[in-house]
Amino acid sequence: MCGATRFSWHDTADLLLTGATPTALTTGQYESRYWAGMPVLPVRDATGALALWRWGNRNEVSGIPATGWAQKESIDAGKWHHHHPQFVQIPVTAGYEQGVWFGIDHGIHGIIVAERVFMLTVAADTTYQNMTHHPRMPWLINQTIIVPLAGSRQQLGLW
């Protein structure tokens, strides 16, 4: 899947930004980890508006799944239909899974449900599964090649 992300954000007064950590990489670059603090993700809706949203539901909201991800196959099968999902783009620049940071060119497909954003996932291709040892991967927007970033365990040969 994708348990952490990096993204650019320039509105440092945004109160939701407290759910992300500034990186040492570049000014305006943040990391958000699903299992730490109050995770957030940048979201671009169908109108083109960009805002930060809480990432998933860690048992704070009843009636919606306690997760940060939704399988594309579940969406296609209508299993989320009663939650009235809105399709969005999550414009992140990198993802992280199992010790591997990887580049993201155009973002990840997502949905908004009950004022939370959920990443959409698909079955991992061979490259992603070999790189992260995970059977699911984010549903990337217009991207087929995934490359580990410098400093990742896989890139350093630690697997």
The H or E element spanning position 6 is strand 4-8
pLDDT tens figures, 67-94: 999 999 999 999 999 999 999 999 999 9
Q: Answer whether residue 146 is part of any domain.
A: no
Q: In what order do the strands lie in the sheet with 21-22?
A: 21-22, 29-33, 4-8, 94-97, 100-103
pLDDT range class, residue 137, cuts 50, 70, 90 = very high
Which domain, by its residues, includes 50? 4-138
User: 56 in a domain, yes or no?
Assistant: yes
Q: Which residues contact 126 (CB under 8 A, 6 or more apart)?
A: none
Mean pLDDT of the chain, nearest integer? 90
For residue 18, the 8-state DSSP code is: G
Domain-embedded: residue 150: no
Q: Give a yes or no: residue 21 inside a domain.
A: yes
Q: What are phi and psi of 133, to 5 degrees?
A: 65, 30
> pLDDT tens, 5-40?
999 988 777 777 777 777 756 678 899 999 988 999
Q: Which CATH number is 72's domain given?
A: 3.90.1680.10
Element (H, E) at 130: helix 126-132
Number of domains the chain contains:
1
In-domain check, residue 132? yes
Q: Which of 95, 102, 106, 108 shows the shortest CA–CA distance to 127? A: 102
Does residue 158 lie in a domain region? Answer: no
Does any domain span residue 42?
yes
31, part of any domain: yes
